[in-house]
Structure 1
Amino acid sequence: MELKRRDFLQATGVWLAGVSSSEFILQLANSPGLATTTPPRRRALLIGINHHGPGEVLPPLQGCLTDVELQKQLLRYRLAWGAGDIQVLTNQEATGAAIETGIQDFLLSGASTGDLLFLHFSGYGRQVSDRGATLIPYDAQADGSSDISLRWLSQLPLPPGVTFWCCFDAGFQTHPGLVERSRPSIGTAPPPPAPSPSMIWLQPTIAREIQLQGTQAGAFTQSITKQLWSHASTSSLSGYWAAQDLERQTGELIHLHWQAEAGARIPGTLNLTGGLTLSVPGADAAIITSAQDSQTAQIWLGGMASPLLTQAGWQSYFQPVMPEFSPTTAAFWVQNPVGLTATAPIADLSGLRRGTLLQERLRLLPHHLTLTIGLAETLDKVTRIDAVSGLDGLTDWVSATTEGTGDYRVIAQSEAEHCLYGLAWPGGTVLPQTLGNPGEAIKGAIRRLGTMFPVLLANKWLGLTLNGETSGLGVTVAWQKLLPQPELLLRVQTERALGAAPETAIGNFSAQAWERGVTFQVGEQFCYRLTNYSPAPVYALWLAWDSAAGLLVLPTLMDSPQLTWQLTLAPQLTTTLPVRELHYTSPCVNSYLLLSRTPFTQALDYLAHLPTSGDPPRLVPPKEALVLVQAILQDLHQNNPESPLKPATTSAYTLDLQAWATFCFTFRVV
């Protein structure tokens, strides 16, 4: 009996899992096991649905079309896929029938050994009785009858040697109080079966949208594509960075389940061997088109860190990626970044063409930075008016109040007959330490929250300096958990430094770190081990933003009777920073290691006023948090006097990526 297409597609099962991002980019760029004379057939189907048809009333989403663009630009410019290799379905194009046709006719039809298939979906998901996890198409129905069941993907009969990647920025379970891409379940869904060995899945446990400057995007898609842009061919990469990025943006511990290919490998990472290498190092951006007036070119910023993409006012100088261009190729000024795009004068791009990959060389951060505070939709009209009035008096730290999302949102959490005012991340996760007492008026709550804004702003500043993956400073960092038993959580290095990093034993990596970030128990300990493989000394500071405490300064040496805040690390040497023991719970800690080619002179002038005896760490008074961070920025400002690059503006902190590195290790304590 002949099966109809829908019957066939829905006759099999589903497994939602992910894989390390290094394996992802390498397999997307190269198909393993092929003769060099036979290029693989590559096909990608990209689906994004912000708005749905009249069948089922669903709240509109904002970032799904941005996700499609993120994936398309990654495939086209970072991985050099052809335009004909990619099919796009958005909004009304993405009906259930069209999605099924695209999967069968565009992806699967004619697939043979060595082919590489890629499916991306951004939109709503849910669980449906007897069908498991489903994707909600444009022509959604309230009973789920038009949904695309994912069951078939786990057992599709693929030819030997075909690799099928599936990336879903959709949620299949709802989480109360969170803004996410999932709808309530319909009935009781069956458990997911195991997937086909030829399939590799990427999917977060919670699918959230984030606000970029001028647009929105799926937090997962933006984070994972950023990792794939900046990944270099000379090292391995784990999913930890994506999980950490998601936690910093949403305040939520988001798991990235993964499924690696068979073979003895450290969970969640890939040791690059054989022919699985990229033709060029990592990139931050690419030239994608010329403007109609032929005076400017459009630059795609897919490899830039997400804190920058959410902020207005920053600018950068870029250079083309070597080896296609020599190190002396002039850097050019990229201006007017809005979300994921920026412009550059055509006159500055002599010899460069569409598709040229770019690396950031100088980062220009504005001297003045503020927070954007949103108001939760649940606040009534009078409360909102009073909240706006109170925020208007805090212009030193708050520049705008929005009706939607911002850096944080003022929320009201119900408790018995009262409501507690506090702050939440844009996705809805509450910062518990910001909640006030029952009966507090909104104006009093705003005054109380205002005392916390300098610390939150200091954390925002530090986030704008993140460049651990893209720095040219030659350092490695090993993060080790000490109790209850030693465990190497993560080892990272600056991938663009001149010269090779020293060979170091990998050790036992934590599967937890690769899959979903790091959680410590109260009483556990960890430390960092730093190696300087550059030809000059490196200077280090250790700070942390603790959502339960504030801005902390931690010592880099404790050998003397007094604490030492700045570490001087000589060339080719390795040292271990003092052990940190965790004494209390905290929902989110950003632990920053800042390294520079020159000393942190102005920061040390401030730190000299902190007591150096007694147990660390030191809590920086809230009103002084910005003073310290701005001193650090001034120290990093043009800290490479030998650089031939001279920015066109003096009204910004100018940070040379060859002369500084900022790593952030995000964790929680329970």
Structure 2
Amino acid sequence: MKRRRFLHRIGSILAVLGVTEAEWLTLGNRYYQALAQPSPRKLALLIGINQYPHIPALSGCLTDVELQRELLIHRFGFQGSDILTLTEEQASREFIEAAFLDHLSKQAKPSDVVVFHFSGYGSRAKLETSPDTIQNALVPANGSNKSQDEKIVNYILEETLLLLLRSLPTNQVTAVLDTSYYAPSTVLGLKIRALQESEAKLAAEELDLLKQLKTQKLPSTPIVLAATSESKQSAREGLFSGFSAGLFTYALTQYLWEFTPASTIQVAFSYVENSLSKLGSKQQPGDLENLSPKRRALNSPPSLVGKGAGGLGFASSFPDSIIGAEGVVSAIEEDGKTVHLWLAGLPPQVLLYYGVNSRFSLATTEQLVLRSRTGLTAKAQISKIDSTTPPQVGQLVQEAVRVLPRNINLTIALDTGLERIERVDATSAFAGFSHVSTVVAGEKPADYIFAKLQEIPSRYGLFSLGGELIPNTSGEVGEAVKLTVQRLAPKLSTLLAAKLWRLTENQGSSRLALKATLEIISDISPRVVMQRETIRTFKTETSIKKSAPTPIVPIGSRMQYRVENHSDRPVYLILLGLNNNHTAIAFYSWETPQEPNTADTKPLLKEVVIAPGETLTLPQTNAASEWVISGPAFFYEQQLIVSTAPFSETLAAFKAANYSTAEQGPIGLLLNSLDVAQDLLQDLHNASALKTEMNVTAADSYIFDVNSWASFSFSFQVI
């Protein structure tokens, strides 16, 4: 933006405030006076910056703003006119702070709801007044003034922002910061939203503003949700199907679409962190009131964040009658038969494969049939053309039928740090697997990254999208690319199997009334680690509020699942997962052979069924069938899947593997994970009563009816 235009624009904003630039910096009490409103207002200031001068561009910050805007309007009842967005060059330090004062401080009153969102780079800066103090800071669009004075940066200190938030005359203030402040020297995988620590000085205006804010009365106790909770974690953004977005923003908004907001932030973070893990990032979100000591040491004083703010502030106005949704009707074409949908409520890992002919239901019980999808938007048609209750813009839609393709591959991104000949060899080697495809890292969505080990460049390995080495995937020193890839064959099948069973997740949309609890067994009473339930089948969510943000399980713990069937039908259960070695595991229900002394030692398996109204504990609590967590310290992931029909083909796949009697443990290794996962999807397809009514070729697609299956995801950290 040219300087003349900039001065004109900032002058216009200050004119609206009715002050000169000098008066603006004094922050008099008049800025806290609220405008008279007939009813409480809901105000939001959303900021997203992809393009920075002199700095590598980000990709997902504008999508973050769109995700937040659609969420606030369609789920929380915000008026579009009360949401101010600043993007790209508009989001300068001066504009952001002026907009905060004009749009939020000047208008808010004690009963109002206020949301502030920032997506962009973060960094760390030293204060001139205290050279030994390093503070976190947000980087506005004009954060780096290289064209003027390279020694001056236009950062907004995190401390300044927290003081601005506290200056608002309402306690219903929520800020979402999808940024981070630690930038490692080398980055593998997803882009990070952090710049190297700056040696430059902060702009004098920023320091003056901070000084003035410290003299003001600060009545508010805001909730500040951060994308990371550890000082050396980085906020990452992902590349999805047709769009990029901040992983934290996407996971948080998706949770708020599908679920009624929990009573505590910690419960929300339990789900968000689970979603982040599936997206390949181990970043752990947090609220600034409950940071780790290391992270807090790099923040402003703890007193800047209000105590006792346990819930999501903007969730206080959530309509009680709305339980959850996967999307909303965003537009209707002139013919009245075709509607446009915004589908930010679908689980991110599912959206990529969400197929044509999937169905959504409206509150009127009418159904919409998906005809095409691009990124987060889709077109659908009313299933009954003669419907007397046509859809309306703003109507929420809930998943009814999920259609997924059968030809799903594992996608490996080849790191750009590989030499050309290394990429050629890797492409050729991966092409030898029928279920694996390759892309160039950063160009298309992927599941994992093939790259060199940073500490030993002569070794290759498979990494998560967050840059974490997958256990047991690194080659030997000096080993050729092709040899390393060929030895990955078993691991690739396991990772694809996990990808397939993750696509069944539907806790938000399932219509089977089920509840599952993961517990640590103790001599006194079981301790709840995580709890999941199909939220659209229960009138209350008291049990769902028992999850910790980062479930921790010590090595040596005795574990069990408690599964409650609240439906009116018997249900069948399968438990699959990846253990802390990233090896496939499954729960087995062993049946004692009729002739114990027979020479045939092949174990017998049986279906796990739960009668209506009954509760099943698995494994059964006795010494012979205990499930004990062993090392190493890493993440554990399990998918608990329930169906109204038997898992006949899945059980047949189990039986086809050559298990010995020594492997008859309750939670054991899954030898043929890909076969089991494919047969699992087929069983869920067979359980759907709708497949004969739909114009879908069964040979090309799986069809899942939300009335016939439920799938819960459990992830925890072993220490």
Confirm or deny a common fold (TM above 0.5): yes
Correspondence list, 1:269-348, <5 A: 277-290=319-332, 296-311=338-353, 313=355, 316-320=358-362, 322=363, 325=364, 329-345=365-381
Match among 178, 187, 192 for residue 177 of structure 1: 187
- Structure 1 residues 181 and 152: alpha-carbon distance in aligned structure 2, compared to 1, 3 A threshold: same
2:239 paired with 1:201? no
| Structure 2 residue 575 is matched with structure 1 residue 528 | no
Instruction: Indicate yes or no: 2:284 matched with 1:254.
Output: yes
Distance change >3 Å, CA 596–CA 347, structure 1 → 2: closer
Distance 1:617 1:310, change over 3 A: same
Give secondary structure in 2 for the equivalent of 1:334. Answer: strand
Amino acid at match of 1:617: I
Give the TM-score, by structure 2 length: 0.78
Equivalent residue letter for 1:202:
L
- Residue type of the alignment partner of 1:585: P
Pick the aligned partner of 2:474 from 409, 416, 435: 435
Residue deviations 1:297-335 (CA, integer Å, cap 9, x gap): 321011000102234656520001x3xx2xxx3322113
Counterpart of 1:87?
84
Higher helix share: 2
Per the normalisation by structure 1, the TM-score is 0.84
> Structure 2 CA distance, aligned partners of 1:230 and 1:502?
13
Structure 1: which amino acid aligns with 2:557? E
Q: What is the Cα deviation at residue 230 of structure 1?
A: 0.6
Distance 1:102 1:589, change over 3 A: same
| Residue 165 (str. 1) matches residue 153 (str. 2) | no
| Residue 241, structure 1, aligned to residue 241, structure 2 | no
Residue 603 of structure 1 aligns to a residue whose secondary structure is: helix
Which residue identity lines up with residue 100 of structure 2 in the other structure?
Answer: I
Which amino acid letter does the alignment assign opposite residue 620 of structure 1?
L
Cross-structure match for 1:27 = none
Residue 221 of structure 1 corresponds to which residue in structure 2? 249
Change in 2 beyond 3 A, CA 1:7/1:500 = closer
Alpha-carbon separation, structure 1, partners of 2:496 and 2:112: 48
Does 1:135 find its partner at 2:176? no
Aligned residue among 636, 657, 660 for 2:684:
636
- For 1:7 and 1:534, how far apart are their aligned partners in 2? 61
* 8 Å contact kept, 2:139–2:155: yes
Q: What displacement does 1:584 show?
A: 2.1
Shift of 1:642: 7.6
Contact 2:591 2:606 in 1 (8 A): no
Q: 1:339 to 1:565 in 2, by over 3 A?
A: farther
Q: In structure 2, what is the Cα distance between the partners aligned to 1:144 and 1:645?
A: 66
1:550 paired residue number: 583
Is contact 2:461–2:473 with CA below 8 Å preserved after alignment?
A: yes
Do residues 398 (structure 1) and 436 (structure 2) align?
A: yes
Q: Quick check: 2:331–2:341 contact (8 Å CA) kept in 1? A: yes
Moved more, 250-259 or 596-605: 250-259
Tell me if the contact between 2:358 and 2:402 (Cα under 8 Å) persists in the aligned partners.
yes
Deviation larger for 274-283 or 86-95: 274-283
Distance change >3 Å, CA 503–CA 341, structure 1 → 2 = closer
CA shift digits 1:191-243 (9 cap, x unpaired):
x99x9752011112131111210111100000000000011379985320001
SS in 2 for 1:307: helix
Cα distance change of structure 1 residues 559 and 65 upon mapping to structure 2, 3 Å threshold: farther
Aligned counterpart, 1:30 = none
Between 640-649 and 440-449, report the one with greater CA deviation.
Answer: 640-649
Q: Mark the CA change 1:479 to 1:386 in structure 2 (over 3 Å): closer, same or farther.
A: same
Aligned to 1:514: 548
| 1:523–1:583 contact (8 Å) kept in structure 2 | yes
Return the letter of the residue paired with 1:580: W
Relative distance call for 1:144 and 1:386 in structure 2 (3 A) is farther
Code of the residue aligned with 1:72 in structure 2: it is R
Q: CA RMSD in A?
A: 3.5
Q: Hey, what does 1:576 align to over in structure 2?
A: 617
The structural deviation recorded for 1:145 is 2.0
- Distance of aligned partners of 1:83 and 1:275 in 2 relative to their CA distance in 1, 3 Å threshold: closer
8 Å Cα contact 1:225/1:302 also seen in 2: yes
Give 1 or 2 for the bigger CA radius of gyration. Answer: 2
**Which residue, 447, 453, 456 being the options, matches 1:407?**
447
Give unpaired runs (5+ residues) of structure 2: 1-19, 28-36, 128-133, 145-149, 203-209, 229-233, 291-304, 597-602, 620-625
1:70, distance to aligned residue in structure 2 (A) = 0.5
Q: Deviations over 1:429-478 (max 9, x none)?
A: 22132111111111111212233221111111111110112211110011
1:468-487 mapped onto 2 (5 Å cutoff): 468-482=507-521, 486-487=526-527
Structure 1 unaligned segments of length 5 or more: list them: 10-36
Cα shift readout 1:603-641 (whole Å, capped 9, x = no counterpart): 1112223537333433223xx322111111111015143
Q: 1:186 to 1:279 in 2, by over 3 A?
A: same
- Matched position secondary structure for 1:52: coil
Matched with 1:491 is: 531
User: 2:260 is matched with which residue?
Assistant: 232
**Which region of structure 1 is more displaced relative to structure 2, 221-230 or 425-434?**
425-434
SS of 1:607's equivalent in the other structure is helix
Take 1:67 and 1:6, find their aligned partners in 2: how far apart are those partners? Answer: 30
5 Å-filtered alignment, 1:1-150, equals 4=22, 38-53=38-53, 57-130=54-127, 132-141=135-144, 143=151, 145-150=153-158
CA distance in 2 between counterparts of 1:85 and 1:334 reads: 32
| Alpha-carbon distance, 1:263 to partner | 9.4
Aligned residue type for 1:164? V
More deviation in 655-664 or 339-348? 339-348
State the secondary structure of the residue aligned to 1:358: strand
Question: What letter matches 1:426 in structure 2?
Answer: L
Q: Name the CA distance, whole Å, in 1 between partners of 2:44 and 2:544.
A: 38
Question: How far apart are 1:415 and its partner, in Å?
Answer: 3.9
Is the CA contact (8 Å cut-off) linking 1:636 and 1:655 kept in structure 2? yes
Distance 1:298 1:573 in 2: 42
**Quick check: 1:431–1:547 contact (8 Å CA) kept in 2?**
no
Q: 1:233·1:280 contact (CA, 8 Å) conserved in 2?
A: no
Taking the aligned partners of 2:471 and 2:438, their CA distance within structure 1 comes to 23
